[in-house]
A and B are shown apart, each in its own frame.
Chain A
Amino acid sequence: MDLALNEPTGDTVKTTTCYMCACRCGIKVHLKDGTIRYIEGNKDHPVNKGKLCAKGSAGIMQQYSPARLNKPLRRVGERGSGEFKEIEWDEALDVATGWLARVRATDPRQLAFFTGRDQSQALTGWWAKQFGTPNYAAHGGFCSVNMAVAGIYTVGSSFWEFSEPDWDRTKFFMMLGVAEDHSSNPIKIGIGKLKQRGAKFVSVNPVRTGYSAVADQWVGIRPGRDGLFVLSLVHELLRTRKIDVDYLARYTNAPWLVIDAPGTEDDGLFARNPLGYPLVFDLESEAIVSSGKPVDRPALHGNFMLEDGRKVRPSFELLVRRYLDPCYAPETVAAEIGIDAPVIKSLAAEMAHAAFEQEVVLDIPWTDAWGRQHEQVVGRPVSVHAMRGISAHSNGFHTCRAIHLLQLLLGSIDVPGGYLHKPPYPKSLSSLPRPTGISEQVSRNMPLPGPHLGFPTWPEHLLVDEQGSPARLDRAFSWAAPLAAHGMMHAVITNAWARDPYPIDTLLMYMANMAWNSAMNTTDTIAMLTDKDVRTGEYKIPRIIYSDAFASEMVAYADLVLPDTTFLERWDCISLLDRPISDAHAPADAIRRPVLAPDRDVRPFQDVLLDLGARLGLEGMITGDGKSLYPGGYRDYITNHQRQPGVGSLAGWRGGEGTQRGKGKPNPDQIDRYIENGCFWREELPPSARYLRHANRDYLSYAKEMSFVGSTAPITMNLYSEELQRFRLAAQGHGNTVPPAAERGRIETYFDPLPFWYAPIEETYSRQDDYPLHAITQRPMAMYHSWGSQNAWLRQIHGQNALFMHHDTAAARGIADGDWVWIKSRHRRIKVPVQLVDGVNPHTVWTWNAIGKRSGAWNLAKDASEAKKGFLLNHLIDDLLPKESDRPAASNSDPVTGQAAWYDLRVEIEKAQPEEEAIPEPRFPDIPLYAGLVKPSNELRFGARFRSGH
Chain B
Amino acid sequence: MTSLPNTPPEKRLGLVIDLDACVGCHACAVACKEWNTGGIVAPLSDKNPYQAEQTGAWLNRIHGFEAAAGEGEIGRTAYFPKSCLHCEDAPCVTVCPTGASYKRPEDGIVLVNEDACMGCGLCAWACPYGAREMDPLEGVMKKCTLCVDRIYNETLDPADREPACVAACPTSARHFGDLADPQSAVSKMVAARSGYDLMPEQACRPTNKYLPVRKKQLERMTEQLAAGDTTAEGFFSWLDRALSS
Q: Do A and B come from one complex?
A: yes
Looking at the complex, which one of B49, B167, B221 makes contact with A41 (CB distance below 8 Å)?
B167
Assess the B77–A839 pair: CB atoms within 8 A: yes
Q: Which of A7, A217, A283 has the most CB of B within 10 A?
A: A7
In the bound complex, how far is the Cα of B45 from the Cα of A864, in angstroms?
19
Flag A24-54 by CB within 8 Å of B: 1 or 0 each: 0000000010000111110100001011111
B238 to chain A, nearest CB (A): 5
Assess the A38–B38 pair: CB atoms within 8 A: yes
* Known interface pairs A54-B26, A346-B221, A946-B38; A792-B66 also in contact (CB < 8 Å): no
Looking at the complex, which one of B225, B227, B238 makes contact with A352 (CB distance below 8 Å)?
B225
Q: Which of B54, B69, B152 has the most CB of A within 10 A?
A: B54
Flag B27-49 by CB within 8 Å of A: 1 or 0 each: 10111011101111011111111
- Is B22 part of the contact surface with A, judged by Cβ < 8 Å? yes
Looking at the complex, which one of A9, A211, A349, A938 makes contact with B48 (CB distance below 8 Å)?
A938
Flag A199-214 by CB within 8 Å of B: 1 or 0 each: 0100000001111111
* Known interface pairs A7-B153, A191-B23, A793-B33; A240-B228 also in contact (CB < 8 Å): yes
Assess the B24–A301 pair: CB atoms within 8 A: no
Assess the A213–B79 pair: CB atoms within 8 A: yes
Q: Which of B46, B47, B153 has the most CB of A within 10 A?
A: B46
Assess the A300–B243 pair: CB atoms within 8 A: yes
- Is B113 part of the contact surface with A, judged by Cβ < 8 Å? yes
- Is B185 part of the contact surface with A, judged by Cβ < 8 Å? no
Q: Which of B23, B66, B138, B242 has the most CB of A within 10 A?
A: B23
Assess the A4–B23 pair: CB atoms within 8 A: no
In the bound complex, how far is the Cα of B137 from the Cα of A130, in angstroms?
55
B235 to chain A, nearest CB (A): 6
Assess the A799–B54 pair: CB atoms within 8 A: yes
- Is A821 part of the contact surface with B, judged by Cβ < 8 Å? no
Assess the B54–A943 pair: CB atoms within 8 A: no
Assess the B171–A195 pair: CB atoms within 8 A: yes
- Is A813 part of the contact surface with B, judged by Cβ < 8 Å? no
- Is A66 part of the contact surface with B, judged by Cβ < 8 Å? yes
In the bound complex, how far is the Cα of B152 from the Cα of A790, in angstroms?
35
* Known interface pairs A51-B170, A191-B171, A838-B68; A794-B21 also in contact (CB < 8 Å): no
Assess the A188–B30 pair: CB atoms within 8 A: no
* Total count of chain A residues near the partner, CB < 8 A: 107
Assess the A941–B137 pair: CB atoms within 8 A: yes
- Is A536 part of the contact surface with B, judged by Cβ < 8 Å? no
In the bound complex, how far is the Cα of B51 from the Cα of A790, in angstroms?
10
Q: Which of B29, B30, B214, B227 has the most CB of A within 10 A?
A: B30
Q: For B89, list chain A residues within 8 Å (CB).
A: none
Stretch at the interface among B118-126, B154-162, B176-184, B195-203: B154-162
Assess the B23–A188 pair: CB atoms within 8 A: yes
Looking at the complex, which one of B45, B227, B230 makes contact with A324 (CB distance below 8 Å)?
B230
- Is A824 part of the contact surface with B, judged by Cβ < 8 Å? no
In the bound complex, how far is the Cα of B149 from the Cα of A945, in angstroms?
16
* Known interface pairs A41-B168, A864-B51, A942-B37; A57-B31 also in contact (CB < 8 Å): yes
Assess the B45–A241 pair: CB atoms within 8 A: no
Q: For B53, list chain A residues within 8 Å (CB).
A: 865
Q: For A948, list chain B residues within 8 Å (CB).
A: 40
Flag B77-120 by CB within 8 Å of A: 1 or 0 each: 11100000000000000000000001000000001010000000
Assess the A213–B76 pair: CB atoms within 8 A: yes
In the bound complex, how far is the Cα of B170 from the Cα of A213, in angstroms?
16
Flag A651-675 by CB within 8 Å of B: 1 or 0 each: 0000000000000000000000000
In the bound complex, how far is the Cα of B51 from the Cα of A839, in angstroms?
32
Assess the A320–B171 pair: CB atoms within 8 A: no
Stretch at the interface among A95-103, A630-638, A855-863: A855-863
Assess the A245–B243 pair: CB atoms within 8 A: yes
Assess the A53–B27 pair: CB atoms within 8 A: yes
Assess the B50–A936 pair: CB atoms within 8 A: yes
- Is A385 part of the contact surface with B, judged by Cβ < 8 Å? no
- Is A285 part of the contact surface with B, judged by Cβ < 8 Å? no
From A61, which residue of chain B is reached at the shortest CB distance? B49
In the bound complex, how far is the Cα of B155 from the Cα of A8, in angstroms?
5
Assess the B30–A942 pair: CB atoms within 8 A: no
Assess the A324–B235 pair: CB atoms within 8 A: yes
Assess the A239–B156 pair: CB atoms within 8 A: no
Assess the A52–B76 pair: CB atoms within 8 A: no
A237 to chain B, nearest CB (A): 9
Assess the B24–A353 pair: CB atoms within 8 A: no
A345 to chain B, nearest CB (A): 6
Flag A1-16 by CB within 8 Å of B: 1 or 0 each: 1011111110000000
A220-259, CB < 8 A from B: 238-242, 245-246, 249
Assess the B54–A216 pair: CB atoms within 8 A: no
Q: For B18, list chain A residues within 8 Å (CB).
A: 195
Looking at the complex, which one of B21, B24, B160, B221 makes contact with A781 (CB distance below 8 Å)?
B24
Q: For A9, list chain B residues within 8 Å (CB).
A: 155-156
In the bound complex, how far is the Cα of B218 from the Cα of A550, in angstroms?
47
Q: For A209, list chain B residues within 8 Å (CB).
A: 24, 64, 77
Looking at the complex, which one of A184, A300, A346, A941 makes contact with B170 (CB distance below 8 Å)?
A184
Assess the B149–A301 pair: CB atoms within 8 A: no
Flag A896-934 by CB within 8 Å of B: 1 or 0 each: 000000000000000000000000000000000000000
Looking at the complex, which one of A6, A792, A939, A942 makes contact with B152 (CB distance below 8 Å)?
A6
Q: For B54, list chain A residues within 8 Å (CB).
A: 792, 795-796, 799, 864-865
Assess the A792–B21 pair: CB atoms within 8 A: no
In the bound complex, how far is the Cα of B151 from the Cα of A7, in angstroms?
12
B137 to chain A, nearest CB (A): 6
- Is A58 part of the contact surface with B, judged by Cβ < 8 Å? yes
* Known interface pairs A793-B56, A864-B51; A54-B25 also in contact (CB < 8 Å): yes
Assess the B225–A238 pair: CB atoms within 8 A: no
In the bound complex, how far is the Cα of B182 from the Cα of A341, in angstroms?
48
* Known interface pairs A52-B168, A58-B30, A241-B238; A195-B21 also in contact (CB < 8 Å): yes
From B151, which residue of chain A is reached at the shortest CB distance? A5
Assess the A39–B34 pair: CB atoms within 8 A: yes
Assess the B43–A942 pair: CB atoms within 8 A: yes
- Is A609 part of the contact surface with B, judged by Cβ < 8 Å? no
Assess the A943–B50 pair: CB atoms within 8 A: no
Assess the A782–B26 pair: CB atoms within 8 A: yes
Q: For B78, list chain A residues within 8 Å (CB).
A: 213
Q: For A940, list chain B residues within 8 Å (CB).
A: 45-47, 49, 56
* Known interface pairs A249-B243, A864-B52; A941-B22 also in contact (CB < 8 Å): no
Q: For A6, list chain B residues within 8 Å (CB).
A: 152-155
A326-361, CB < 8 A from B: 326, 329, 342-343, 345-346, 348-350, 352-353
Looking at the complex, which one of B167, B216, B218 makes contact with A50 (CB distance below 8 Å)?
B167
Assess the B52–A324 pair: CB atoms within 8 A: no
From B237, which residue of chain A is reached at the shortest CB distance? A301
Assess the B43–A943 pair: CB atoms within 8 A: yes
Instruction: Beyond A195-B21, A302-B236, list 20 extra A-B contacts (CB 8 Å).
Output: A7-B149, A41-B168, A52-B170, A54-B30, A56-B27, A57-B30, A180-B23, A195-B18, A195-B20, A213-B79, A240-B228, A246-B243, A324-B230, A346-B220, A349-B224, A793-B34, A795-B54, A796-B46, A796-B54, A939-B137
Closest 4 CB pairs of A and B: A188-B170, A943-B38, A792-B49, A943-B37
Interface residues of A, Cβ cutoff 8 Å to B: 1, 3-9, 32, 37-41, 43, 48, 50-58, 60, 66, 180, 184-185, 188-189, 191-192, 195-196, 198, 200, 208-214, 216-217, 238-242, 245-246, 249, 283, 297, 300-302, 317, 320-321, 324, 326, 329, 342-343, 345-346, 348-350, 352-353, 781-782, 790, 792-797, 799, 837-839, 859-861, 863-865, 868, 936, 938-944, 946-948, 950
A-B contact pairs, 11 of them (CB 8 A): A1-B113, A7-B155, A9-B156, A191-B171, A209-B77, A239-B227, A240-B228, A246-B243, A781-B25, A796-B58, A838-B66
Interface residues of B, Cβ cutoff 8 Å to A: 18, 20-27, 29-31, 33-35, 37-40, 42-56, 58, 64, 66, 68-69, 75-79, 102, 111, 113, 137-138, 148-149, 152-156, 159-160, 164, 167-173, 214, 216-218, 220-221, 224-228, 230-232, 235-236, 238-239, 242-244
